[in-house]
Chains A and B, each alone.
Chain A
Amino acid sequence: MNSDTVLSDWRSKALATESAIGSAVIGQPSLIRLISIALFARGHVLLEGDVGVGKTTVLRAFARAVGGDFERVEGTIDLMPNDLVYHTYVDADGQPRIDPGPLLRHGESLTTFFFNEINRARPQVQSLLLRAMAERSVSAFNREYQFPHMTVFADRNRVEKEETFELASAARDRFMFELNMSTPVDDDVRQALIIDTAYHNADTLIESVPLAMCPGSELNHIAGEIQSSVRTSPAIDQYLLAIWRATENPAAFGVSVDGVDMDRLILAGASPRGMSALTRAARVVAWMNDRDHVIPEDIQTVLPSALGHRIFLTPIYELRRSEVAPALVSAIMNVVASP
């Protein structure tokens, strides 16, 4: 089976997965598409939204579609890094025992690590996660544990800020996408969510998604195939470079945001990792649209989700991030053009 056929088959799988999850989690097609893109670009996803909009449900649905071993951790203020690596107890024989924690328990077969309410965990815990996300490995017990197929899904609610720890810039940069899940606005969707009993039981909904539609153990391979088969033209390369420079110095590109002093807005632009993630995600978009080349629309599809959380604002504007960052990214998209 040649590469094109493999990619075509996997595209069908990806679209079928999207469709299945879209049936379980209604009213969120763009969010599901972006999570799917992150999955095939081998990126981690941070999901933010109001309480009870279905963040956990959609992530669990993806975890089921990916199959493999699944771990879930609830972020709490007393959670410590070692709680992810191991836990100790005294067994029935009165002997002290040390068992692997949720991160190590499944070894290389871990495909989905779901960190619920990540902003409730201490920065120490978040730091442990940094390496696990970036390198897909951790060191413990004098050895290194690899998680080559792991995808981290994390969520946080944006309503409560008490007893929470805002993610550090470095931690945010590890996530390919930071997605905002909002309450559906369509009345038909809202009516179905509250009236239709099928949407009242999350477990049943998740089980409606076929298990391991896109086997997680094969995602690395297919992701590599996608990245090598979808090409970018010099015009797209220049476009990406221009976007990168615009995130560093938007004023030089004439980017403006109402009520913002553009000369004092940016602390640091997008990181090389961020731009790399953007490019990888854009290639996946092109592949999902059955193209072998990237066009600006592919980049624009993922630009807000990939760079919105990666532009580091000065403290004076950091408090208004949720308002300023989307406006800035939108302005960059409006100003920078290709060709």
Chain B
Amino acid sequence: MPLALIWMTIVVSLLSSAPAGSVELQQPERSIGYFIGDILQQKVAVNRGDNVVVSADLETGERIDEYLYRLPVVQPAEPSWIGRRLGWFRHAAAAIYDGAGPGGSVLNIRYQVINVPPVTQTISLPELSLMTGDNESIEIPAWQFTIGPLSPDAAFVHQDGATGRQGVGGSLKDGLQFLPDRSASEFFTARDRRKSLARLGALISVLVVVLLCWLLWWLYRHFRERHILPFARARRAIGALPRAHRKSDDDAWRLLHTALNDTAGKTIVVGTLPDLLQKAPWLEAHAGDIEAFYLASAARFFQQRDPATDINVESLTEALYQLEKRQAPTDLAAVASRQGAMPASSGLNRSGNAHSKSLAD
């Protein structure tokens, strides 16, 4: 808030500054009531075409005394090309630096209160000698003002009843009260660092083990599915057939029959297709295709005539496999036991090869 007031003061003073052709010094607005952190600003304005030479001390900033620190002088920025073209920046700058007249320059010297005495005290901004670009000397005299603490001297002094030591904080007789002390954080020692690293390492190790277990489980489950799920097995076995035979080879038809039988848990014929759909309702989407397959199979294997419809066994198996994959029972052991009861199904052995031992005997 004080800083804002100071700026307003500067602006007002600039707006009502002395006419052009002289050096004007503007001191801070007030000389009392400064606290730690407040900034006081002196403003030196010169005529058009002139400027104040900024010494190296002013550019870097320095500690003046116990209570004051001079902030580095910031040169006013040159308006950009766009700003010059538009003109607004120039006008705005002129308004701000009106005290220096159009085209003049202004030097802002700012001091910050970095320390305060226990009681209100009068101190001074230091004297300062400056030079203009025209070698005109500018003398800035010392300027007095008062600074003081934010609180009374003994307002928060607290004496510990147990130890007798004095300090800041605790409850006061006048009812003022600090926030309770925050416990200090423990020192972060090298030992702590090693322990933390060890904990981090253990955590990462556990994470890696969990991920590894999950990966192994995924591989194992994938492997089991490929070897247990009926249509997955049929798909794999059909894929092992010569490419030209996959769509229409007798073995491919038998493999698909085996998969359907294994899915139903019993031998399926046209008349018992409802049993299959009851056992595996997720096949309903392809019920028509399955029935067509059975009719074509009957014509092919029993009637020994070309079926009326052309069945692509490979693609039908793939479609049924996709359904099976989405609906795969979580308890694969049940599937395995069901298949275990049907080793000779469709004349195919468990590995999906045609002509089981029983039929080959």
- Chain A: residues with CB nearer than 8 A to chain B? 233, 235-236, 238, 241-242, 245-246, 252-256, 293-297, 300, 333-339
Contact = CB atoms under 8 A, between A and B. Distances in A.
B258 A337 contact: yes
A233 B341 CA distance: 27
A61 to B, nearest CB: 28
22 contacts: A233-B301, A238-B359, A242-B344, A242-B347, A246-B344, A252-B358, A253-B344, A254-B340, A293-B303, A293-B304, A295-B298, A297-B270, A297-B271, A300-B269, A334-B266, A334-B341, A335-B266, A336-B344, A337-B258, A337-B345, A338-B347, A339-B301
Nearest 7 pairs between A and B by C-beta? A254-B343, A235-B301, A337-B267, A334-B266, A339-B301, A253-B344, A337-B346
Interface in B340-360: 340-347, 358-359
Contacts of B270: 297
Interface of B: 250, 253-254, 257-258, 261, 265-271, 297-298, 301-304, 340-347, 358-359, 361
Nearest to B265: A334
Nearest to B339: A254
A235 B267 contact: no
A293 B358 contact: no
A262 to B, nearest CB: 11
Contacts of B297: 339
A300 B331 CA distance: 31
A294 B257 CA distance: 18
A301 B109 CA distance: 113
Contacts, number: 82
Contact of B341 (A242, A256, A296, A339): A256
Given A338-B347, A339-B257, A293 B267 contact: no
Nearest to A252: B358
A253 B343 contact: yes
A296 B301 CA distance: 10
A183 to B, nearest CB: 26
Q: Is the interface of B mostly helix, strand, loop or mixed?
A: helix
A254 B301 CA distance: 24
A281 to B, nearest CB: 17
Contacts of A333: 267
A295 B269 contact: yes
A238 B358 CA distance: 10
**For chain A, what secondary structure do more than half of its interface residues adopt (helix, strand, loop), or is it mixed?**
helix
B344 A339 contact: no
Given A253-B343, A253-B344, A339-B250, A241 B359 contact: yes
B284 to A, nearest CB: 22
A301 to B, nearest CB: 10
B267 A334 contact: yes
B267 A335 contact: yes
A86 to B, nearest CB: 50
Given A254-B344, A256-B341, A336 B301 contact: no
A300 B270 CA distance: 12
Contacts of A338: 301, 346-347
A23 to B, nearest CB: 26
A333 B298 CA distance: 17
Nearest to B342: A335
B359 A242 contact: yes
* Residue among A254, A335, A337 with max Cβ neighbours from chain B (10 Å): A337
Most buried by B among A246, A253, A339: A339
Contacts of A300: 269
Contact of A335 (B253, B344, B359): B344
Contacts of B254: 339
Nearest to A241: B359
Nearest to B346: A337
B341 to A, nearest CB: 5
Contacts of B340: 254
Contacts of A233: 301-304
A254 B357 CA distance: 12
A297 B271 CA distance: 8
Given A253-B358, A256-B341, A294 B302 contact: yes
Contacts of B346: 337-339
Instruction: With a 10 A CB-CB cut-off, give which of A238, A242, A294 has the most chain B CB atoms.
Output: A242
A299 to B, nearest CB: 10
**Central interface residue in A238, A241, A254, by most chain B CB within 10 Å:** A254
Contacts of A334: 265-267, 341-342
